Amino acid sequence: MTRGKIPEVLAPAGDMERLEAALRYGADAVYLGMDRFTMRSAPKNFTPEQLETACKKAHAQGARVYCTVNTLLKNEEVEGLPAFLHTAADCGVDAFIVADMGALMLARREVPQVEVHISTQAGVTNYLTARELFALGAKRVVLARELPLTEIAGIRKNTPPELELEVFVHGAMCVSFSGRCLLSNYFTGRDGNRGECAQPCRWRYHLVEETRPGQYFPITQEENGTYILNAKDLCLLPHLDKLRDAGVDSFKIEGRAKSAYYVAVASNAYRCAADLLREPVYDPPKWLLEEPDKLSHRPYSTGFLFGRPEDGQKIPGGYIRTWEAAGIVEGWEDGRLLCSQRNKFRLGDTLEALLPGKPPVKIPVTDLRDGEGEPIQATPHATMAFSIPWGEALPKGTILRFTPGEEARP
């Protein structure tokens, strides 16, 4: 474990901006992908040159980089895998995350200096499998998402202490077992097991009876149908002490396709929460428990942590979005924060500065100026320069956020 007995905080990095956000806001490690063999093809991912830069940035801050090799491999791809592994290893990655037994064994032979972690896609649900994977050279197992706390503790009790256990603590959950889903491929030809999921579990469905073609009936009483496969999001921030006590070594945040704002807020929240595990009693303050609600999310759940998910696990479609990034702090001069815009806000709104390792700070926008110092009423142009008054400098890269339409508060 990193930081003494505190489990690692592992954040997603879909591109360089998101990697920098994760590092700025306290992640111990990031996981990312390149152009192939990755379960997330939607993000930009990393070229070899970018990966080398990413590893240098992370290592300079004492953080680690894990590269995904977690798709289901086809025959024609196997020949290119050794070169891919060597390229990533030369860039400085600390571990490969693999789902395929062949990829595990090849990585151990080709680049034995790089750790191998077993992906949740492998669906590890018991200590026997975990022990055998360790015997084959795996350093870590990312456990199946469907395991309750008691099963996690049982795996820890019956596996070598050198084998690290990683669990997902936050983010979207797949309706299928550990992400092994065929719906996307069936409906659209886009294979979810190869990083191209179209998320049909989030679509709206009606019921049709075989002898009544063309007659569609809501499965529930909602007039717009029902999202029968749409799962809640996972949030285990209030329960990190239980996971730590069960023997978990790494807290994993889902979301390589999510925004830099999402990565920053989630990384900061779980960093602050994990640090509280040093205290005799784990008791996150109210502001910290509220941080996940400031992300774009579906209603939250504890997933399978305490057994079978609660009733109402399936929910209507759509996200809850109450907060947005307003801008990024670029500097401070003459009592003003110099910033670049991310979303339009107005004079009179109240911003919040998301500070690494600290509660957010409210900043009423009592004066708003453009990059030339001229007074303006709003920030309508993408990435435009603006400044607002503030009595002290904030770290470069600090995210300013707001609730759209919110009036300034004292």
Q: What is the pLDDT of residue 317?
A: 61
Q: What is the pLDDT of residue 272?
A: 98
Residue 1 has pLDDT above 70, yes or no: no
234 and 168 Cβ atoms separated by less than 8 Å: yes
- pLDDT tens by residue, 231-283: 789 999 999 999 999 999 999 999 999 999 999 999 999 999 999 999 999 99
Mean pLDDT over residues 315-338, rounded?
Answer: 90
77-86, 109-118, 202-211, 396-405 — which is least confidently predicted?
202-211
329 and 388 Cβ atoms separated by less than 8 Å: no
Structure-token match 């202490």, residue found: 161
Q: What is the pLDDT of residue 72?
A: 83
Q: What is the pLDDT of residue 404?
A: 87
Please report the sign of the dihedral spanned by the C-alpha atoms of residue 95, residue 12, residue 15, residue 327. negative
What is residue 294's DSSP assignment?
Answer: G
pLDDT band at 3 (very low <50, low <70, confident <90, very high): very low
First vs last Cα of the chain: how many Å apart? 43
Q: How far apart are CA 284 and CA 237, in angstroms?
A: 9
Q: What is the pLDDT of residue 173?
A: 82
Mean pLDDT over residues 108-129, rounded?
Answer: 96
Q: What is the mean pLDDT of the chain?
A: 89
Residue 294 has pLDDT above 70, yes or no: yes
How far is C-alpha 170 from the geometric centre of its chain's CA atoms?
Answer: 7
212 and 149 Cβ atoms separated by less than 8 Å: no
Please report the sign of the dihedral spanned by the C-alpha atoms of residue 54, residue 59, residue 62, residue 65. positive
- Kindly write down the DSSP assignment for every residue of 103-133, as one continuous string: HHHHHHHH-TTSEEEE-GGG---SHHHHHHH
Q: Does 179 or 328 have the greater pLDDT score?
A: 328
Mean pLDDT over residues 401-410, rounded?
Answer: 63
Q: Does 259 or 223 have the greater pLDDT score?
A: 259
- Write down the pTM of the prediction: 0.86
Q: What is the pLDDT of residue 41?
A: 63
Structure tokens at 80: 């290119």
pLDDT band at 214 (very low <50, low <70, confident <90, very high): confident
Residue 408 has pLDDT above 50, yes or no: no
Q: What is the pLDDT of residue 5?
A: 79
